Chain A
Amino acid sequence: MTGWIDAVIQGVLLGGLYALFAAGLSLMFGVMRLVNLAHGDLIVLAAFAILAVATKLGLDPFVAVLVATPILFVLGFALQHVLLNRTLGRDLLPPLLVTFGLSIIIQNGLLQTFSADSQRLRSGPIETASIPLGGGIAVGVVPLLTMLSAIAVIVLLNFIFYRTPVGRAFRATSDDLEVAQLMGVDHRRIFAVAMGLAFVVIGIAALYLGLRANFDPTIGPARLLYAFEAVIIGGLGSFWGTLAGGIVLGLAQTIGARIDPEWQILAGHLAFLAVLVVRPRGLFPRAQD
């Protein structure tokens, strides 16, 4: 029984990580209708960047991610402005294929730079610290922080989207690109700001990816799939839905793993497909497709 309760708790907390993966993807789709096939690889790239900053400057990963945040914002802004804005239009193919190409470039660039070795972010005793809940059940501090960060990120994103001028511009651009321009909104700039913001979220996701488990250059695509599944399970257009989707996915994985360790990933995918069959618009739909 303890094992099952533990699996549920771990699953919910794992959902926090997946919500962080998914928030960036959801933001890009929400503002510019971009489905970014390189999303997972960007998370891994950010994890390596944090690792490099942390080792070179001798910083703790939590501090390193703070240092990296403005850099990530600029990188995201530039990526959108220089490359991805060129792919916008009615045709779905250019953004998909350009980000797919980007995914391959990032994976192999990382392979060339950092080798195929597994890496991990080190942050001292906090990594293994846990809070006992009694009855032999304990909650790891890092998983708990992951969940709290996911909630903080979602609150912040909701604040930006619904309480600030730039958030209004995000929503207006997403509603009607042409009329948004009539309002003086430079959509290319707005998209670049959204990507910069998405990159900051990617940086936070990368921090916890690297603290919780080993990572190497090849694991990006799987993170893309988890992020995507969380978005679809939760329902498009709502950041809180994304958190719910992440938790459903996390639960499916840990419960699957509890039955047979080899079934962890498969169970997550099957849960996603099941939701797709039963509720194709997700559990908490909001936006129109």
Chain B
Amino acid sequence: MDDSAAKPAQTFRIETAGGAPRIAASIAVLIVLVLALLPMVASRTLVQDFIFLFYMLALAQCWNLLAGYAGLISVGQQAFVGLGGYLLFALTLIGGLNPLLAILLAGVISALCALPTALIVFRLRGAYFAIGTWVVAEVYRLVFAQIKPLGGGTGTSLTSSVTSSVPGIEQVRALLDVRTPAARDIVSYWVALTLVVATLAAVYFILRSRRGLALGAIRDQEAAAAGLGVDIYRIKLAVYVATAAMTGMIGALIYLQKARISPDAAFSVLDWTAYVIFIVVIGGIGTMEGPVIGAVVFYLMQRYLADFGAWYLILLGTLGILIMLFAPRGLWGLILNWRDVTIFPIGDG
């Protein structure tokens, strides 16, 4: 039984590397190169906008991996964004570490925290798991609100000595002849770009691995996957912990860029989960291309409509519901109906 489960996976892998995806890969490399060079010419506002776009996209890919592939519908990913952010503050302000090292460490510690968290929330199934993760995020928020050295309920700011201690700022300032704050943004931009590319690559390789193909099986039919000898629990646990690590690092980066943290903002369900879900749903859940499209759409809406405040959020909620009801595969699904294309050849379009 185990052998027969493994064999299709082998043939599958051969079939998924066709000629068109290779062209797509070259295009992807080109896009990353262009993006990497963008700050040389772009305005500071545009650089900041792109940082926002990058981290929202990275968060969306993480949530998509959880919900779209592993069937772990979480509404509590703000737990790890906030945890990563607070870890960055603790490690730099109190620990005196270099911020870049702190981002990496935030990922490791987030993964370590995710493990016991998972052992508890995994006791809840299906939809109840969703609310369980939300409770856990609330617990994280309330606990960090109690930590006085990090500002308790009101929060705290990074000192300028921390924000300017990121390696590379001096060189960028000298090289591009910009002021320190702009140089800081450019370095953050590159860190964010690195993170989003790393997240995309990580998700891509997880999904292309044998485990990833097993994930597809979980999504399609949990009982059948179990029948094939797939250890669902362990795979789900691995995905949960891996996304927590990625989400924690993204959170650390977000709050390095923001330089100010408070429990209510860092553990905000709206900012770090609702928006992220919106991106995935509008783009197309269960695909890697969907969140990319969703992130761009969300960025444009945020840029031009966010001033409408409550009405803007009502619009987001309504759009999300309509997409879920009438086009559950999102914009990418609509594109696929129209033309059969794949950018990330994972195995199912």
Contact = CB atoms under 8 A, between A and B. Distances in A.
State yes or no: do A and B touch (Cβ within 8 Å): yes
A119 interface: no
A37 B269 CA distance: 13
A92 B139 contact: no
Interface string A84-96: 0011000011111
B125 A289 contact: yes
Contacts of B71: 92
A105 interface: yes
Interface stretch (A169-177, A181-189, A195-203, A266-274): A266-274
Contacts of B202: none
Given A266-B143, A289-B125, A104 B324 contact: no
Contact of B142 (A97, A269, A277): A269
A40 B337 CA distance: 38
A104 B274 contact: yes
A221 interface: yes
Contacts of B198: none
Interface string B104-146: 0000000000000000110111111011101110110011011
A100 B131 contact: no
A262 interface: yes
Contact of A108 (B124, B128, B130, B317): B317
Nearest to A225: B135
A96 B127 contact: yes
A53 B142 CA distance: 36
A192 B241 CA distance: 39
Contacts of B317: 101-105, 108
Interface in B5-31: none
A23 interface: no
Interface in A227-254: 228-229, 232
B315 to A, nearest CB: 9
The SS class assigned to the A binding surface is: helix
Contacts of A112: 310-311, 314
Contacts of A222: 138
B52 to A, nearest CB: 20
Interface string A276-289: 11001000000001
A190 interface: no
Given A92-B126, A225-B134, A225-B135, A273 B324 contact: no
B293 interface: no
A261 to B, nearest CB: 12
A72 B274 CA distance: 27
B155 to A, nearest CB: 15
B82 interface: no
Please indicate which of the listed interface residues A98, A107, A108 has the most CB atoms of chain B within 10 Å of its own CB. A108
A276 B124 contact: yes
Given A265-B138, A269-B135, A273-B139, A109 B126 contact: no
A35 interface: yes
Given A37-B75, A112-B314, A269 B138 contact: yes
B270 interface: yes
Nearest to A36: B127
Interface in B278-299: 281, 285
B328 to A, nearest CB: 7
B142 A35 contact: no
A111 interface: yes
Interface string B60-95: 000000010001010100000000000000000000
Interface of A: 35, 37, 83, 86-87, 92-98, 100-105, 107-109, 111-112, 221-222, 224-225, 228-229, 232, 262, 265-266, 269-270, 272-273, 276-277, 280, 289
Interface of B: 67, 71, 73, 75, 120-121, 123-128, 130-132, 134-136, 138-139, 142-143, 145-146, 269-270, 274, 277, 281, 285, 309-311, 313-314, 316-318, 320-321, 324-325, 328
17 contacts: A86-B325, A92-B73, A96-B130, A97-B324, A98-B324, A104-B317, A105-B314, A112-B314, A224-B131, A225-B131, A225-B135, A228-B131, A232-B128, A262-B145, A266-B146, A269-B135, A276-B123
Given A87-B324, A93-B285, A105-B318, 8 more contacts: A35-B126, A101-B317, A101-B324, A102-B317, A108-B313, A108-B317, A266-B146, A289-B125
Return the 10 tightest CB-CB contacts between A and B, nearest first: A35-B127, A104-B317, A108-B310, A105-B317, A101-B317, A280-B123, A101-B321, A266-B142, A101-B320, A108-B313
